[in-house]
Structure 1
Amino acid sequence: MITKPTILVVDDTPANLQLMSGLLQDDYKVKAATSGEKALKIAFTDPQLDLILLDIMMPEMDGYEVCKRLKADEKTNQIPIIFLTAKAETQDEALGLSLGAVDYITKPVSPPIAIARIKTHIELYRQKRELIESQRLLAEEINEAAIYIRSLLPLPLEGKVKTSWQHIPCSSLGGDALGYHWIDEEHLGIYLVDVCGHGVGAAILCISAINAIRSQSLTDTNFKSPASVLKGLNEAFPMEHQNNKYFTIWYGVYRKKNHELIFSSAGHPHAILFTGSDLNNKTLQTLTSGGLAIGMMGDIIFNETIVPLNNFNKLYVFSDGVYEITQKDGKEMNLDDYTQLMKEYFSDLGLLESEKVLEKIKSLKNEIGPFDDDFSLVELIINAT
């Protein structure tokens, strides 16, 4: 059974109330009020009103005041109000519309015109409520997706391998994800994915890629071989099947037995490795293999590189959103600037400093507020003993 829309008619003249009720009763449920106070009481206690027909000239509280109060309360401020009055001056109509009314019908009422306008505004209000509800549901789904992405982020590691990370999406749903996990007792996988764009599409692709890595579900893929992983991802996620979206990735494996790192990357910024025989003597290496992003082209050959590690090592893997900022001097930071910054401030081989990196980058931004891109950074300290 279809529920009739509910209209509240407000007029201090009973004859006018009877006239409007007679016009509307076949298609609408009609409620009546003979004063502004009674109208407010009905409006504030009845959540089902679909429209209010409001007379202006009433004793004690006129229609303008009723309209102001309705628009000031969040429970009633969305209900469409049509002024129904004998006044026909242009300035009176302008005042009513400025207070939030959606239309103005003058007396004596022309039934066809009044009914047409009422029908139009009730339909618009219905569409508006449906839009608001769909936006609410979408916001809930986006929030659930954001929580899920957050749940994929790893717990800190302690011991010979220590970890820290920062992950701040620039919007509700970002396109970055990071992780690490022990593939077996001797091999630790380390990875960071950065999907082009943001929002639902980017998040879905990001989740799919990270889950494929975590669950080791790629076909014919050796997850201890970075080049094999990138090849498997490239075959699984061609951009023509992902709404023209692609992603960059840095993927490495720490080989515990040989105390070495093997890595490969696809269109991703280089990782930064600080390494030294002791805590005071260290060198910087940038780790990249270049190449195209995942999904851009089929049959790509990915290269992997082995890096021997020293007694003390610190690895930073990050997305381009970490350094692509406009600084307070107006200069755009680039990857070389960021690498130098890390060398000057964050090369202590004994300390996890990802949170300090985040605060430093925030302090250099020319504006307070969210980053223009997702900020994703994973830090690992890997010691021989």
Structure 2
Amino acid sequence: MPPVLIIEDDRLVRKLLKKLLQPQGFEVVEATTGAEGLTLVSSVRPALILCDWSLPGIDGLSVCRTIKANPDWSDVYFILVAAYSSPEHHVKALDSGADDFLCKRIKIEELSARLRAGLRVYRAFQEQRRLAQELKLQQEQLETEMAEASEYVRSLLPAPMNDRIVARSQFLPSRQLGGDCFDYHWLDSEFFAMYLLDVSGHGLGAALVSVTIQNVLRAQILPGTNFYQPGLVLTALNEAFSSETDWLSEAPSDRYFTIWYGVYNYSKQLLMYASAGHPPAIVVSGHSPNHQIDQLRTPGTPIGMFADSKYKTQFFKVEQESTLYLFSDGIYEVQQSDGTIWNLDQFVDLIDRHHHSEQLDNLETIVRAVKDLKCDRDFDDDCSLLQIKLR
């Protein structure tokens, strides 16, 4: 059994208590003063303490307060023992943090029962502490895995582009890691593809699905699909997602994702696009103050929600000085400091205000402005924002 510490200045009382406890299997450690008892606590690590109320120097109440104030000792079951018992003694003992109060005239059977009860309480506290420590370690491990997964997702995202088309991006994963992913690349010398997707849910599962879809689109491994036609790409993705093909065999049956997918014909200045339940792309054209803002999206449910969904390609003529913004809903569905929820129209206004600023790359300014609206700096969902200067 765990040791019992007896703090008692009366040698006869110590001897009597020791004689009573040892036959029951308790290991007994003795201290004659409060100071000595406090010294022994850290080295002995007792499960129970029987402490005399009236000790010379540091009395029993002070010893109790000191032990209970220390987080490393607070789970020790502390019993104050006094020569006399009264309601006032009970109140003072409990207010000082004692777990129990006994009179020295207590019967042996009752003392044994109280010690056994105290030992049960101590063991329960120890088990609770063990479980809390185990939970803490698991949480730390999960946070480490989330951080590693976040860095992996970030490593797969495209680098800034300074070509005929200029592209920049901002990716801020949430603490739980969501399912945002995006890419842009040339299909050939004339056609430029771009997309942003958002898988439902959070955690490693959502991130794994988003990365898998990104790899499928990069490698163009949807059989018989014309990747120059956004509507056909989304239809093929939906069919594959609904039929649980090999590359999606690990995805939960209730998983779905939104996506905006576009292909830009550079020479003809024609943008073809389709969307599946995703926020619209924003195109800002022309010079301020006579610039124009267009929201581009097509009707359609998220991929994987309905097996028979079909998606159509829409067309948009790109004017000179046109910039396209793609984003996930995590960047505008944020709670402001006053408790109200921001919305898409307000985010579009923010893009409008910052688009014609003198800064070459204004994405950081936009993200910082969104952060300033929040009560804290952490996003509840992944936050992705792309800026693609088409002309």
TM-score (ref. length: structure 1): 0.77
Aligned partners of 2:224 and 2:37: how far apart in 1?
70
Aligned partners of 2:231 and 2:30: how far apart in 1?
75
Whether 2:124 is the aligned partner of 1:115: answer: no
Give the structure 1 partner of residue 360 of structure 2: 351
Which blocks of at least 5 consecutive residues in structure 1 are unaligned?
Answer: 197-201
The within-5 A match list for 1:189-268 is 189-196=194-201, 202-216=202-216, 220=223, 222=225, 226-231=230-235, 233-235=237-239, 242=252, 244-254=254-264, 260-268=270-278
Aligned partners of 2:266 and 2:236: how far apart in 1?
24
Whether 2:168 is the aligned partner of 1:163: answer: yes
Once the two structures are TM-superposed, the CA of residue 145 in structure 1 deviates from its matched residue by: 1.3
The within-5 A match list for 1:1-385 is 6-12=2-8, 13=10, 14-15=14-15, 18-19=18-19, 21-22=21-22, 25=25, 31-45=29-43, 49=45, 51-57=47-53, 58-74=55-71, 76-86=72-82, 88-101=85-98, 103-107=99-103, 108=106, 109-153=110-154, 154=157, 156-160=159-163, 161-167=166-172, 169=174, 172-182=175-185, 187-196=192-201, 202-216=202-216, 220=223, 222=225, 226-231=230-235, 233-235=237-239, 242=252, 244-254=254-264, 260-276=270-286, 282-325=291-334, 332-347=341-356, 351-363=360-372, 365=373, 368-370=375-377, 373-374=380-381, 376-384=383-391
CA deviation string 1:239-275 (max 9, x = no partner): 9x73745443333445667665443322222121223
CA deviation string 1:31-62 (max 9, x = no partner): 5444333333343356xx47232414232223
Assess, with a 3 A threshold, how the Cα gap between structure 1 residues 21 and 290 changes in structure 2: closer, same or farther.
farther
Assess, with a 3 A threshold, how the Cα gap between structure 1 residues 100 and 383 changes in structure 2: closer, same or farther.
farther
Aligned partners of 2:379 and 2:153: how far apart in 1?
23
Asked whether the equivalents of residues 158 and 184 of structure 2 are also in contact (C-alpha less than 8 Å), the reply is no
Moved more, 225-234 or 120-129: 225-234
Q: Greater CA radius of gyration, 1 or 2? A: 2
Assess, with a 3 A threshold, how the Cα gap between structure 1 residues 233 and 204 changes in structure 2: closer, same or farther.
farther
Instruction: Calculate the aligned-residue CA RMSD, in Å.
Output: 3.8
Aligned partners of 1:94 and 1:235: how far apart in 2?
72
Asked whether the equivalents of residues 312 and 349 of structure 1 are also in contact (C-alpha less than 8 Å), the reply is no
Aligned partners of 2:81 and 2:237: how far apart in 1?
68
Assess, with a 3 A threshold, how the Cα gap between structure 1 residues 333 and 131 changes in structure 2: closer, same or farther.
closer
Aligned partners of 1:69 and 1:254: how far apart in 2?
73
Assess, with a 3 A threshold, how the Cα gap between structure 1 residues 227 and 16 changes in structure 2: closer, same or farther.
farther
The total of aligned residue pairs comes to 364
Q: Percent identity?
A: 24
Once the two structures are TM-superposed, the CA of residue 83 in structure 1 deviates from its matched residue by: 1.8
Residue type at the aligned position of 2:206 = C
Assess, with a 3 A threshold, how the Cα gap between structure 1 residues 151 and 42 changes in structure 2: closer, same or farther.
farther
Aligned partners of 1:40 and 1:237: how far apart in 2?
66
Assess, with a 3 A threshold, how the Cα gap between structure 1 residues 17 and 59 changes in structure 2: closer, same or farther.
farther
Aligned partners of 2:97 and 2:239: how far apart in 1?
56
TM-score (ref. length: structure 2): 0.76
Aligned partners of 1:333 and 1:60: how far apart in 2?
64
Once the two structures are TM-superposed, the CA of residue 286 in structure 1 deviates from its matched residue by: 0.9
Once the two structures are TM-superposed, the CA of residue 128 in structure 1 deviates from its matched residue by: 3.4
Aligned partners of 2:43 and 2:379: how far apart in 1?
45
